[in-house]
């Protein structure tokens, strides 16, 4: 896999996807949250013709616009995006203990909510998979700058791929416009990084694109847990062997 990792930067995104599919023996999963990069990747995967399992995490707190885009995306590309929901008992217990919006009260409470609504469902999404495709970009935040194109993820026991790692937001937006990729109308309203509605706000001019996520927290700690280790830091996984 190390040879693949070294070759990915020289390839175009569609070629990267084809190379990833050829290298991965077993199920390859793409998780989408319907953000700009994920929509571009959906288009590229459809264009490449590779076989990928599409999945999304429905936290129960998404924007109405996200559900509308979900429906539009399935219709546009003729695919079904599997929905994974949090365990209802865990949500009920959390709300009983913390309140409906308890995640505002402390970092631990917010992380607990993200774990229930995102991290645990993702474990079910990736169970048994051999590869995981994400829409991470290196310039999305300071914590993501050292993310590799491909690396072994010890936590999920698979290889994680970031085929748009070296793209800028401007590149992704230009591609989406040129290829008429459906994108969230919230982007035009200043929501550049879109997650759960209560935890997402518009950003001010000059702010980084993820400033609108969990805006009440320390910038260095603003990850939901999908791409971090037990210590809360973004995983810098070792290169695949």
Contact between residue 225 and residue 137 where contact means Cβ atoms under 8 Å apart: no
The number of helices, as runs of H, and strands, as runs of E, in the chain is: 8, 6
| Other CB atoms within 10 Å distance of the CB of residue 93 | 12
- Spell out, as residue ranges, where the chain has pLDDT lower than 50: 227, 229-232, 234-241
Q: What pLDDT, on the 0 to 100 scale, is given for residue 221?
A: 57
Residues marked as catalytic? 224
Task: Give the pLDDT confidence of 197-238 residue by residue, as tens digits.
Answer: 999 999 999 898 889 999 999 766 555 556 454 444 544 444
Contact between residue 159 and residue 130 where contact means Cβ atoms under 8 Å apart: yes
Task: Give the pLDDT confidence of 133-149 residue by residue, as tens digits.
Answer: 999 998 865 555 568 89
Query: Helix 169-178 to helix 36-48 angle, to the nearest 10 degrees?
Result: 50
Q: What pLDDT, on the 0 to 100 scale, is given for residue 194?
A: 95
Domains and CATH numbers, the chain: 2-185 (3.40.50.620)
């Amino acid at each position: 896999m190390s040879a693949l990792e070294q070759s990915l930067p020289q390839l175009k995104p569609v070629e990267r996807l084809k190379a990833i599919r050829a290298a991965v023996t077993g199920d390859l999963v793409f998780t989408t949250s319907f953000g700009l990069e994920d929509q571009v990747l959906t288009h590229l995967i459809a264009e490449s013709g590779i076989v990928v399992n599409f999945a999304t995490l429905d936290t129960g707190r998404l924007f109405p616009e996200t559900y509308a885009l979900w429906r539009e995306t399935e219709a546009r590309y003729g695919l079904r995006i599997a929905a994974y929901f949090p365990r209802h008992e865990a949500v009920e217990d959390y709300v009983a203990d913390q309140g409906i919006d308890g995640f505002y009260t402390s970092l631990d409470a917010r992380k607990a909510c993200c774990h229930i609504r995102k991290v645990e469902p993702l474990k079910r999404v990736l169970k048994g998979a051999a590869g995981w495709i994400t829409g991470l970009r290196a310039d999305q935040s300071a914590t993501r700058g050292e993310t590799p194109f491909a690396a072994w993820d010890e936590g999920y026991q698979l290889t994680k791929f970031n085929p748009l790692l070296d793209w800028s937001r401007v590149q992704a937006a230009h591609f989406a416009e040129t290829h008429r990729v459906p994108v969230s109308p919230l982007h035009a309203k200043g929501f550049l990084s879109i997650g759960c509605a209560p935890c997402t706000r518009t950003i001010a001019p000059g702010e980084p694109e993820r400033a609108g996520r969990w805006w009440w927290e320390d910038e260095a700690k603003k990850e939901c847990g999908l791409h971090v280790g037990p210590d809360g830091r973004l995983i810098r996984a070792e290169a695949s062997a």
